[in-house]
């Protein structure tokens, strides 16, 4: 069997929505639940960790609106949650054909594929309907398992579902949240990609500038480059 390849999602396989777009959507959600848009935006930024590992979409809206003195109805909370889900679907829909082609080439080459993403529940819910989902054998989202990179347990959760040891796997990520060092710490071979974002310039391990380079690197490790 070819080596399993484990990917990060945002800034690795696709662009993450920038703060301006996310803040715009959260501001619109605030109007739906009757609180001040700047205040809800600030709460979303302040509670990113809870949203990654604890709260689902509606719970997030309800908790944060209540903190700001709002008393939204269930229908208002649902509408706001659906608005956030729509953003997640748009982001996942923006995956490029080139990226999909790389994933298809890896699968054709016999590489099992897995995903480990520090992601909120809206992204995890949108994932099964995305064009990316059917190309992966395993997908681990922090919001589903209550763990986030670089916790060693989230990497092991992926390898256990793949049925392999961490040392057999290659991890690909942009470097957010200390994910590269976390993957290396459990024994994975790690590559940093800078195609979508130069997230961790301090990483001193191997990398590459374009995802299209990856199949060649996996076939010929001597061609490893620095991102």
Q: What tens digit of pLDDT does each residue of 60-82 get?
A: 999 999 999 999 999 999 999 99
Q: Which of the four pLDDT bands, split at 50, 70 and 90, describes residue 131? A: very high
| Nearest of 40, 122, 123 to residue 81 by alpha carbon | 122
Q: Which of the four pLDDT bands, split at 50, 70 and 90, describes residue 16? A: confident
- The domain 5-15+95-223 having CATH identifier 3.30.565.10: the answer here is no
- pLDDT at residue 221 is higher than 80: no
Say if residues 188 and 7 touch (Cβ distance below 8 Å): no
pLDDT of residue 52: 97
Say if residues 199 and 9 touch (Cβ distance below 8 Å): no
What is the value of pTM for the model shown?
A: 0.94
Beta partners for 193? 208
Mean pLDDT of 180-186: 98
* Burial letters 54-83, b for 16+ CB under 10 A, else e: ebbbbebbbebbeeeebebeeebbeebbeb
Q: Break the chain into its structural domains and give their ranges.
A: 5-15+95-223, 19-92
3-state secondary structure of 80: helix
- Quote the percentage of the chain above a pLDDT of 90: 88
Q: Which of the four pLDDT bands, split at 50, 70 and 90, describes residue 39? A: very high
Q: Which of the four pLDDT bands, split at 50, 70 and 90, describes residue 15? A: confident
């Amino acid at each position: 069997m070819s080596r399993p390849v484990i990917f990060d999602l945002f800034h690795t396989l696709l662009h993450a929505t920038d703060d301006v777009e996310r803040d715009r959507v959260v501001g619109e959600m605030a109007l739906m639940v009757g609180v001040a848009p700047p205040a809800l935006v600030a709460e979303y930024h302040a509670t990113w960790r809870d949203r990654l590992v604890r709260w689902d979409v509606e719970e997030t809206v309800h908790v944060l609106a209540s903190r700001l003195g709002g008393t939204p109805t269930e229908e208002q909370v649902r509408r706001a949650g659906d608005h956030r889900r729509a953003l997640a679907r748009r982001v996942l829909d923006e995956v490029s054909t080139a990226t999909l082609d790389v994933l298809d080439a890896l699968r054709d080459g016999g590489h099992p594929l897995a995903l480990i993403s520090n992601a909120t529940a809206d992204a995890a819910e949108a994932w099964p309907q995305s064009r990316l989902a059917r190309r992966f054998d395993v997908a681990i989202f922090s919001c589903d398992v209550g763990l986030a990179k670089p916790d060693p347990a989230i990497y092991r959760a992926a390898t256990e579902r793949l049925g392999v040891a961490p040392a057999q796997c290659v991890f690909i990520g942009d470097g957010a949240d200390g994910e590269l060092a976390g993957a290396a710490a459990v024994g994975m071979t790690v590559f940093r990609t800078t195609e979508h974002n130069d997230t961790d310039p301090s990483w001193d391990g191997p990398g590459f500038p374009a995802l299209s380079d990856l199949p060649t690197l996996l076939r010929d490790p001597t061609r490893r480059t620095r991102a």
